[in-house]
């Protein structure tokens, strides 16, 4: 299937701008020319690629074409950098990362990557269990995810384990778990959850009780504020060991029971594309993860 570079550039511009008209303004061509290029791509691929909504969105086939279009953009950006004709700020690399990693070890890794590569980064925040969808639809070049299976067109590398601990404030623990971390206590003790995708607290309760329990819930969709809510006694919650270890050492947080941990294997998925900027970023992320996270040898 032959898709000319200018057609792929047009396709990426439509999604970036949200409309055919916006893409026409960006590319300095007419909306009619944009429509003709899209029709030609759909005829050649034999599939509808775009939903003519506001904003325009891709179909499943269109997501595959969008990923290809953005890979071509990255290749051209890499070539321009090597020829010293690239943008002064370096290539822009969109990535998706979960909130807890952003709040603990990932931003220092990204700062190192910015210093050493000269690239710029657009960080999207998404739960580690759903972040691969943004890779699948071509929205990002790389993702820190809990999904081991590689998205089509991508590679998946296990980089370590983020260990979580069930913790609460000392006062909360004394009030709700004076008789131990039992099914009865867990059924009534309020919990703090990040959002409705957050399954860590429920996983811990099943680990302890082998039962499905529905205690009262608070939702706090920010990693730092989530930890603050737990420390203030709103409820108990699962916090990354990197985030809660200082509080445990200081006595402002206490673990719930002797076996209060859960492990979250983390994978770095990225486009299966030779790109100096993306290669360097991936190497730095793996290097920083080896220092910050639990080892990955026992995981696939």
In the chain, where are the structural domains located? Answer: 1-86, 162-263
Digit-coded pLDDT (tens) for 198-236: 889 999 999 999 888 899 999 999 999 999 999 999 999
Query: Is the pLDDT confidence value at 38 over 70?
Result: yes
DSSP 132-165: HHHHHTTS-SEEEES--SPPTTEEEEEEEEEEEE
Query: Is the pLDDT confidence value at 87 over 70?
Result: no
Mean pLDDT of 34-63: 91
Quote the CA–CA distance of 22 and 208 in Å, as a whole number. Answer: 54
pLDDT at 81: 66
pLDDT at 284: 97
More confident residue, 128 or 136: 136
Q: How many CB atoms lie within 10 A of CB 170?
A: 12
Instruction: Give, for 10, the enclosing helix (H) or strand (E).
Output: helix 5-17
Q: What is the pTM of this model?
A: 0.78
Q: What percent of the chain is modeled with pLDDT above 70?
A: 94
Mean pLDDT of 265-286: 93
Query: What b/e string do you get for 180-202 counting C-beta neighbours within 10 Å, with b at 16 or more?
Result: ebeeebbeebbbbbbeeebebbb
Question: Between 3.20.10.10, 3.55.40.20, 3.40.190.10, 3.40.50.920, what CATH number should domain 162-263 receive?
Answer: 3.40.190.10
More confident residue, 257 or 110: 110
Query: Is the pLDDT confidence value at 253 over 70?
Result: yes
Q: What percent of the chain is modeled with pLDDT above 90?
A: 65
Confidence of residue 277 (pLDDT cuts 50, 70, 90): confident
Average pLDDT taken over every residue of the chain: 90
Mean pLDDT of 138-143: 88
Question: Between 1.10.260.30, 1.10.10.10, 3.40.1030.10, 1.10.490.10, what CATH number should domain 1-86 receive?
Answer: 1.10.10.10
Mean pLDDT of 108-121: 92
């Amino acid at each position: 299937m032959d898709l000319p570079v200018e057609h792929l550039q047009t396709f990426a511009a439509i999604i970036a701008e949200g409309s055919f008209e916006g893409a026409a303004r960006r590319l300095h061509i007419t909306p009619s020319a944009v429509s003709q290029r899209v029709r030609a791509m759909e005829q050649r691929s034999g599939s509808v690629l775009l939903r003519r909504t506001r904003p325009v969105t891709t179909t499943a086939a269109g997501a595959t074409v969008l990923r290809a279009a953005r890979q071509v953009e990255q290749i051209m950006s890499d070539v321009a950098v090597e020829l010293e004709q690239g943008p002064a700020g370096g290539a822009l690399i969109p990535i998706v990362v979960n909130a807890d990693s952003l709040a603990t070890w990932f931003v220092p890794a990204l700062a190192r990557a910015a210093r050493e590569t000269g690239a710029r980064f657009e960080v999207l925040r998404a739960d580690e269990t759903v972040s691969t969808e943004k890779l699948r639809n071509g929205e990002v070049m790389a993702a820190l995810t809990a999904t081991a299976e590689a998205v089509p067109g991508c590679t998946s590398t296990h980089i370590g384990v983020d260990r979580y601990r069930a913790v609460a404030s000392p006062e909360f623990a004394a009030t709700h778990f004076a008789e131990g971390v039992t099914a009865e206590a867990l059924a009534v003790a309020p919990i703090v959850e990040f959002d409705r995708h957050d399954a860590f607290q429920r996983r811990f309760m099943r680990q302890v009780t082998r039962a499905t329990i529905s205690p009262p819930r608070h939702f706090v969709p920010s990693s730092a504020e989530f930890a603050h809510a737990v420390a203030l006694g709103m409820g108990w919650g699962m916090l990354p060991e990197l985030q809660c270890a200082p509080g445990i050492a200081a006595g402002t947080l206490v673990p719930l029971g002797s076996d209060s941990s859960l492990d979250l294997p983390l994978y770095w998925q990225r486009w299966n594309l030779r790109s100096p900027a993306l290669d360097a970023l991936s190497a730095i992320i793996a290097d920083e993860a080896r220092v910050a996270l639990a080892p990955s040898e026992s995981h696939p």
